[in-house]
Amino acid sequence: MEIKELTRAEEQIMQVLWQLDKGFVKDVLDVLPEPKPAYNTVSTIIRILETKGFVGHNAFGKSHEYYPLISKDQYKDFAAEKLLSGYFDNSVNRILSFFAKKEKMNLKEADEIMKLIEKLKEK
């Protein structure tokens, strides 16, 4: 199945569903920060996510309990690939340089990356 890109609002709802594992619209609303969107807004976004193949549901009468069909790790892989190919010409070097220049990487993280590189060299 092809994963589609999420809008900011859709991603915010997915983050909550990944956190909850499953829940009703009210459960999702309870977790969202203030100012909270309207119930109908959240319900509509969840139905869009269902159409996109991100969310499934169990019906309990007229109520629906929603759950993720795409894991957070699956979407993370998709988003990382999109970022790498779309902005850094598929170059890990360019993306690491970008974060280093923006000072988004501390020495501990740089050390961990060096350890990962050493492990890759051993393989």
Could you count the other beta carbons within 10 Å of the beta carbon of residue 69?
A: 16
Instruction: Look at residue 2 and tell me if it is in a domain.
Output: no
As for how many domains the chain has, the answer is 2
Helix axes 39-51, 8-20, angle to 10 degrees: 90
Instruction: Verify that 15 and 55 share a domain, yes or no.
Output: yes
Q: What is the DSSP letter of 39?
A: H
Instruction: Verify that 112 and 84 share a domain, yes or no.
Output: yes
Instruction: Verify that 76 and 109 share a domain, yes or no.
Output: yes
Taking 3-state DSSP, the helix, strand and coil percentages for the chain, each rounded to the nearest 5, stand at: 60, 10, 30
Helix axes 72-87, 92-101, angle to 10 degrees: 90
pLDDT of residue 1: 65
Instruction: Verify that 62 and 13 share a domain, yes or no.
Output: yes
Q: Is the pTM of this model over 0.85?
A: no
Low-confidence stretches of the chain (pLDDT < 50) are none
The domain in which residue 82 lies consists of 72-122
Instruction: Verify that 91 and 52 share a domain, yes or no.
Output: no
Instruction: Look at residue 3 and tell me if it is in a domain.
Output: no
Instruction: Look at residue 1 and tell me if it is in a domain.
Output: no
Give the dihedral sign, CA 16/17/23/29: positive
Instruction: Verify that 57 and 42 share a domain, yes or no.
Output: yes
What are the residues facing 87 on neighbouring strands?
Answer: none
